[in-house]
Amino acid sequence: MTDKLLAELDSTDENVRARAAVELHKQGHASALEACLRTLNDAPDALHADRTPSVACLIEIGELALGPLLDRLASEDRVTRMHAERAVQGITRRRFGFDGIAWPPGAMERWMDWWSGIGFDSGDAAPGRAAAIERLRGGIRAT
């Protein structure tokens, strides 16, 4: 089954690729992180274009995904930056206590202040994004 999923990552159909990455993640496969990074832009939610199946999996993967996601924040492709930003936000929210459903008292405000201070916007020009990514790298080390 795993070989089939790994082969499906090369499918021409982005929905097949996304499902394969999600299934590898569910199985705890060693290549799940790479599969989710590879399919980061595949099969976006029709109502929320910043969400893809791999964004959700990367949030679940958590800290291990942060380094590669920070690199993708610098991508030339705005869609990649947008998806990476959403995943980084999800991971860092968990650092502040968000469990996916609820925040501890005051934690949401602390995260929002922290994220606002980072100043990352996927639509900014490259120099502004680069400065924000460096603030984010420092901010992640500090939290």
Q: Going residue by residue through the chain, which has 143 residues, state the pLDDT in tens, using 9 for 90 and above.
A: 899 999 999 999 999 999 999 999 999 999 999 999 999 999 999 999 999 999 999 999 999 999 999 999 999 999 999 999 999 999 999 999 999 999 999 999 999 999 999 999 999 999 999 999 999 999 888 87
Check if the beta carbon of residue 80 is closer than 8 Å to that of residue 55. no
Domain count, the chain: 1
The pTM score is: 0.95
Domain ranges, residue 28: 2-142
Burial 74-111 (b: 16+ CB within 10 A, else e): ebeeeebbbbbbbbbbbbbbbebebeeeeeeeeeeeeb
Place of tokens 């595949």: 42
Backbone angles phi, psi at 140, to 5 degrees: -70, -40
- Compute the distance between CA of residue 132 and CA of residue 29 in angstroms, rounded to an integer: 32
